[in-house]
Structure 1
Amino acid sequence: MEILIKALQFILSLSFLIVLHELGHFIPAKIFKTRVEKFYLFFDYKFSLFKTKIGDTVYGIGWIPLGGYVKISGMIDESMDTEQMKQPAQPWEFRSKPAWQRLIIMLGGVTVNFILGILIYIMIVFVWGVDFVKPTDIKHGFAVNEMLYDYGFKDGDKILKFNGEEPLDVTAINKHLFLRGITSLEVLHDDGTKETLAIPENIGDEMWANGVMEPFAIRTDALIDSVIVDSPAEKAGLLKNDKIMSVNGTPVRFWQDFTKLIQNSKAENIAIDVERNGTIETINLTPREEKTIGVFNDISSSIMVQHKNYSFMESIPKGNSLAVWTLKDYVTQFKYVFTKKGATSIGGFIAIGNIFPATWSWQSFWGITAFLSIMLAFMNLLPIPALDGGHVMFTLYEMITGRKPSDKFLEYAQITGFLLLIALLILANGNDIVKLFS
């Protein structure tokens, strides 16, 4: 059932984004009196699940859920209708229109996606408000990864300021550290002293290289909140609400201490002392090969989450800011795609589907849809033939130089771009399959 709920959310979100993206091309094409032969949700290779013709346009739903398209007369696109291009140009065709009109038609899809992302974020802020955690609302401070010890950070630090300013939500520290150029953090150590610590500008690269994407973790009490079915923990008898007291005789106070001891243990069998109903019990178990035992805890008792509601007018700048930062963050992290590690991290449809929660939540649905809308806009704007950005690149070249690329050149460019996209699609979904079985 959880997989079905995720799949339904994914398909609904994807369909919504595709239809509106293609409308972004369709509407200016109609305004400029350009004939649109097809308007399709999903691809219709060989046959369609549904289609109907209204005027000059066939509207339909294909059976391959990899996207959608509008087929515009007199344009070399994914349909590869080269026969049409051999005929004399007609006044209703895309190729007959002035370059500025063709540019607007091609930019229509990504423009709609950007605007849509902003509007959704505005409505999310207006309807649900914003949750946040202030620096003083983290009970035990942060557990710090060892890679940050050399910069002066210590377990239990409470982070007071990012680059000299108090953050609205201190739990966003890892994202800011990775993507937003933090060069200093003011911290309150466990001993009560305050200190401003410098951070190198390339800290994001260091996090990526070391695989430490969350160097700051909210420090929580060592209390088990859930136990995975058939895990070593369940088989050994660990229960929800057990309080971890020690591991192999080493006292434990926080959850992060517990997980670190499990990870670093050299022994095949581990003895865990837990407090249960006022008594101490010893549980012996053997961790999995990757040094996990199948237990989770809950951070809710260690933080105080505050909430702020926004009026509609207040939601506009806040929602716009969320959209802008979503785009900036995505563009900033995009450089890591071109690394060896990044290539294996690219995800396909399974990865995107897993972003959605296992239980239906309209707030999560719209938040993810807004993110995907902005992500798709950016990806479509890349100057790759077969994407909107490729068509925009060639049109801008024509407008600047006064020379239009030949139809044969555009045809070869379209084929090259299409093959590149297919290769990326295979890579992304191949990564999903590998991760699924490993």
Structure 2
Amino acid sequence: MDIFIKLSQFLLSLSLLIILHELGHFIPAKLFKTRVEKFYLFFDVKYSLLKKKIGDTEYGIGWLPLGGYVKISGMIDESMDKEQMALPPQPWEFRSKPAYQRLIIMLGGVTVNFILAFIIYIGMAFAYGDTYIAMEDFKDGFLIENPVMQKAGFKTADKIIAVDGEKITKFDNEITIKIIMAKQVLIERNGAEQTIKMPADFIDQLSKIEKEPLLSRRMPFIISEVSEGSVNTVFEPKDLVIGLNGQKIKYFDEVQSILDNSKGKTISATILRDQKEQEIQIAVNNKGKLGVIQGGLSNSAMEKLGYYKVSKQEFGFMESIPVGITKGKDQLVGYGKQLKMIFSPSTGAYKQVGGFKAIFDIFPSSWSWEVFWNITALLSIMLGVMNLLPIPALDGGHVMFLLYEIVSGKKPSDKFLENAQMVGFVLLITLLLFANGNDIYKSIVGK
């Protein structure tokens, strides 16, 4: 069932993005009276799952879910229809239209991608608001257990002040990606500020360990259950441990050092049970363990105990517009930074480039519209940016040649465009094989 939910989200998101991207080409083509021969979701190699011709256009669904396309008459594209191009230009063909019209048609797809992302972010701001914990609530800093973070110089109890000069005011889903792409992070440790310079190969180092949060909230020591065979049956579920061996305990990460110094001994523990403090005697085994399982507390319980307050800011429709636009702009800039890192060999980020499996894996195994729309908006930005790359066979390649034509007044020859299209196609296939090859490799080695 889980795989079905993930697959449903993956196909729905992919289909939505492809159809709207191709619609971005289709609509201006029709407005400029350019004939569109095919409009396809997925690729119809050899045969189609569904197809129907309406007017001059055949609409269909292919069987190969690697994208989609519109075939525009008189255009040198992936179809490489040389027979059509050998005939005299017709007024309804792409090549017969003014350069500015051809440019608008080619930019239509990525324009729709960017507009879609901004619309989704505006809608999400209106529907879900903004949930976060204020950084000022982390008076005792963060829990840092990730070995790559520790190697970079971070320690538990560090407070995050700024990333690359940008002051961090909220602990939310964006902080991890900001740190991953950072050049330097300003922290506060023991009341003094200091700057940690991030290693150039930080992403590569992260790829070599099991997935673990870069930083997380420091949590209290609450008993979930007593392990079978444990001698510490004096503990009860929901007990909150606030003291051990005469030392006050606020966070679970403070416990182990005390236990390590008390191996094989009986020590006192102060617990909070039913909102009342109690003193009990507990045994620490020779491995420095208590034989209990730590549990968690709800956000409301954490807030009641004075740990953290989860804030939610809601927006009216008009307020949602600037919030969504800012979120979309930040994601666009962030993805641009990611691409820059991928094309910088020293970062090792290229090793993490993924294909369709990587995209599939980011969808959750339980259905959440909030998560679905958030992922779809990000994928829409990624699709728009990738299509703008000046590679022949991509929209950006066509745009590059059209801009050259507008500026120079000279149109590249059909033969040149055909050769460029072939080179671009080979390059795209190479990138596709590399990305999906990375997926296969990571599946085999388990990373």
TM-score by length of 2: 0.77
Provide the C-alpha distance between the structure 1 equivalents of 2:320 and 2:394, rounded to a whole number of angstroms: 33
Percent of aligned positions that are identical: 50
Counterpart of 2:150 in structure 1 is 146
Moved more, 411-420 or 70-79: 411-420
Residues 387 and 394, structure 2, Cα contact 8 Å, conserved in 1: yes
Structure 1 residues 139 and 74, CA, compared in 2 at 3 Å: closer, same or farther? same
Check if 1:52 corresponds to 2:52. Answer: yes
Counterpart of 1:435 in structure 2 is 442
Structure 1 residues 225 and 103, CA, compared in 2 at 3 Å: closer, same or farther? farther
Counterpart of 1:122 in structure 2 is 122
Residues 348 and 431, structure 1, Cα contact 8 Å, conserved in 2: yes
What are the equivalent positions in structure 2 for 1:28-427 lying under 5 Å apart?
28-138=28-138, 140-144=140-144, 145-149=149-153, 154-159=155-160, 163=165, 165=167, 167-169=169-171, 172-179=174-181, 184-185=186-187, 187=188, 189=190, 193=191, 195-200=192-197, 203=198, 205=200, 207-208=202-203, 210-211=205-206, 215-221=214-220, 301=302, 303-338=308-343, 339=345, 341-427=348-434
Residues 131 and 172, structure 2, Cα contact 8 Å, conserved in 1: no
C-alpha deviation, 1:138, in angstroms: 3.3
C-alpha deviation, 1:404, in angstroms: 1.0
Secondary structure of residue in 2 paired with 1:356:
coil
Provide the C-alpha distance between the structure 2 equivalents of 1:116 and 1:205, rounded to a whole number of angstroms: 34
Secondary structure of residue in 2 paired with 1:426:
helix
Secondary structure of residue in 2 paired with 1:142:
coil
C-alpha deviation, 1:304, in angstroms: 3.0
C-alpha deviation, 1:165, in angstroms: 4.1
Residues 392 and 425, structure 2, Cα contact 8 Å, conserved in 1: yes
Q: What does the per-residue CA deviation read over 1:343-382, in whole Å, with 9 as the maximum and x for residues that have no partner? A: 3211111110111111000011011000000110000000
Gaps of 5+ in 2: 231-236, 243-248, 258-263, 274-279, 288-292
Structure 1 residues 70 and 315, CA, compared in 2 at 3 Å: closer, same or farther? same
The residue type paired with residue 195 of structure 2 is A
Q: What does the per-residue CA deviation read over 1:239-278, in whole Å, with 9 as the maximum and x for residues that have no partner? A: x989999xxxxxx996668999xxxxxxxxxx9x9x9x98
C-alpha deviation, 1:297, in angstroms: 7.3
Q: What does the per-residue CA deviation read over 1:218-247, in whole Å, with 9 as the maximum and x for residues that have no partner? A: 333466989xxxxxx99x9xxx989999xx
Provide the C-alpha distance between the structure 2 equivalents of 1:385 and 1:183, rounded to a whole number of angstroms: 39
C-alpha deviation, 1:167, in angstroms: 1.2
Residues 24 and 111, structure 2, Cα contact 8 Å, conserved in 1: yes
Moved more, 411-420 or 331-340: 331-340
Structure 1 residues 139 and 6, CA, compared in 2 at 3 Å: closer, same or farther? farther
Provide the C-alpha distance between the structure 2 equivalents of 1:170 and 1:364, rounded to a whole number of angstroms: 14
The residue type paired with residue 385 of structure 1 is P
Secondary structure of residue in 1 paired with 2:90:
coil
Moved more, 295-304 or 154-163: 295-304
Structure 1 residues 68 and 204, CA, compared in 2 at 3 Å: closer, same or farther? farther
C-alpha deviation, 1:216, in angstroms: 3.7
TM-score by length of 1: 0.79
Provide the C-alpha distance between the structure 2 equivalents of 1:335 and 1:394, rounded to a whole number of angstroms: 23
Larger radius of gyration: 2
Structure 1 residues 89 and 172, CA, compared in 2 at 3 Å: closer, same or farther? closer
Structure 1 residues 118 and 181, CA, compared in 2 at 3 Å: closer, same or farther? farther
Provide the C-alpha distance between the structure 1 equivalents of 2:156 and 2:113, rounded to a whole number of angstroms: 42
Structure 1 residues 184 and 140, CA, compared in 2 at 3 Å: closer, same or farther? closer
- Aligned pair count reads 396
Residues 159 and 170, structure 1, Cα contact 8 Å, conserved in 2: no
Secondary structure of residue in 1 paired with 2:49:
strand
The residue type paired with residue 167 of structure 1 is T
Counterpart of 1:287 in structure 2 is none
Structure 1 residues 204 and 21, CA, compared in 2 at 3 Å: closer, same or farther? farther
Structure 1 residues 323 and 35, CA, compared in 2 at 3 Å: closer, same or farther? same
Residues 132 and 311, structure 2, Cα contact 8 Å, conserved in 1: yes
Residues 160 and 186, structure 2, Cα contact 8 Å, conserved in 1: no
- What is the Cα-based RMSD across aligned positions, in Å? 3.8
Moved more, 87-96 or 408-417: 408-417
